[in-house]
Amino acid sequence: MDLDESYVDDRRERANEPLYIPPIAAEPTTSINLAQTLFQPSEFDESLEDQLAQSISSCDRRHPLVSTEIPNVFPHQYDKNFLILTSAGKPIYAMKDGDGTIAYMGVIHTIMNYFKLKEDQDLRCIENGDVRFAFLDREPIVLVAYSARGETSNELFSQLDFLHSYLLSSLSERQLSKIFSKRQNFDLRNFLESTDFENLDEICSLLCERLYPDALLGALRSLSMKKSHRAQLHEAMSQQLTKEKDLPRGTLLYGLIVAPENKLCSVLRPKGHTLHTTDLHLLFCLIFHRFQNLDDSQELWVPICFPKFNANGFLYGYIKFLPKCNSILVLISAQKDAFFNLKSFADHLIKDISSNGLLEEIHKAKGFKISDIPAPLVHHFIYKSKKHVQYVMPELELHSDTEPEQLIELERKFMTYYQQIHNSVVRDDGLAFNKSCLNFIRWDSDAIEPSEEPIAMLGLGWITPKFELYLICNNGVDDKHVIFESAKRIISWCRKHESRLFVNEGAIF
């Protein structure tokens, strides 16, 4: 299929610009009409194999790490921090707690009060060159983000809201209000547990250091699994709920099976109701961070506030690791004395799905690789289905001797690419420039040393009412026609395997 030249606009290519992409995304270079786009799968063009081989020919074949193929074009001086304080200026938490952190919080408190008194409005954002400060005032808590990574204001507000939601999940809004109504200068650090600060560290690490697009996309990552196996799993959950005589109606609100790396496997929910993605993000983070040392013989009963569901009250979660597959069963109830009822339900359900071989199928569900899709010259991608509010991406292919530090550096690098691709197709308020838009973005640089490759990275962002696609090409790729064809093949492949990639309705009662 020949690509219409109207899809591509070369006027905004950044071939001669510095490496750093401005914090505020430029308007997309390309807008498309979906009616003109054919999503029919194309035949794989064998001549593209030579182009693919050429694009990766300079890789070190002794250590085929993905990080040797995708260069880091972002300056090392990028910095970021999160600060949390009370409305009275008392410090609560800082991701990077230096000697001057408390003084910074005092200055922030003064500036925010000035705006309230003089301007009669809340301070939202301050920009100073490449640095952006975002302020979120959720009295009696104030949250501040400092970033020089080119993130939009909306992205920083979403991250601050995530941190605030964690505090509410631990304390509830009612309890916070009660504490500060008595003493406005109350030091909340004396009230929080040490595990709360560890959890805040873990959330900040996910937001800043890891390949964690969940918050950026407002979606959940799903576990790729055969349609028939997932249907059997949901049927087993529904049947067990019907058979369980010791479980009064209304005791069980939600049931979830979550695979490692926060992947949603299956869901049991009431008709017409679902939990907010932020509440599920918090739940998954807490489970795999706080309870990662549990074995399948242990079970937990944990009170947790879901701030997007009800910020003033607590629900109760029964948590148990499933044998043989490292996944977790979570059952949510509003009744604090429902532990034994949910335990009985869980024991019978686990016995049932174990005898049917479904536990083994969950364990064998390993996702997919970029090589599974005929998408020439594409190194990695993220595909989000808006209907399911879920996303998928290929597994990173790493060498067996990759060190943890190398993995973190690799994930941070990929996440920065995706942040900038995403920000090139959305405005500062987080809304897309158009209902359907497509944009190519380039990063270029000459080689500093003779032994190094020149950097010529190309990325693509594509947003429509039905899906979002973000992809990164191999270094040295500049053929937009080929990349656009590869993008259509990815979309066609994801739609063809939709029932395997995403959790559809789940088990509904």
DSSP assignment string, 346-370: HHHHHHHHHHTTHHHHHHH-----G
Encoded tokens for 368: 């997919």
Domains of the chain: 1-214+368-509 (3.30.450.70), 225-366 (3.30.450.30)
pLDDT per residue, tens digit, the chain (509 aa), is: 444 433 334 433 433 444 333 343 444 443 333 333 333 444 444 444 444 444 433 333 333 333 335 777 776 555 899 999 999 999 999 998 876 777 778 888 888 888 877 766 778 999 988 889 999 999 999 999 999 988 999 999 999 999 999 999 999 999 999 999 989 889 999 999 999 999 999 999 999 999 999 999 999 999 999 999 999 999 999 999 999 887 888 899 999 999 988 999 999 999 988 999 999 999 999 888 877 777 777 899 999 999 999 999 999 999 999 987 889 999 999 999 999 999 999 999 999 999 999 999 999 998 899 999 999 999 999 999 999 999 999 998 887 788 888 898 899 999 999 999 999 999 998 999 999 999 999 988 765 555 566 788 899 999 999 999 999 999 888 889 999 999 999 999 999 999 999 999 899 99
Encoded tokens for 201: 């560290």
In this structure, the strands spanning 263-269 and 220-222 are parallel
φ/ψ region of 393 (left if φ > 0, alpha if ψ in -120 to 50, else beta) reads: beta
Q: Model-level pTM?
A: 0.83
Distances (CA, A) of 421 to 83, 109, 285: 27, 34, 25
Query: Which residues, at least 6 apart from 67, have a Cβ–Cβ distance to it below 8 Å?
Result: 406, 409, 410, 413
Instruction: Round to whole Å and give the CA distance between 229 and 245.
Output: 26
Nearest to 126 by CA among 104, 144, 149: 144
Nearest to 257 by CA among 314, 331, 308, 317: 331
Encoded tokens for 283: 């739940």
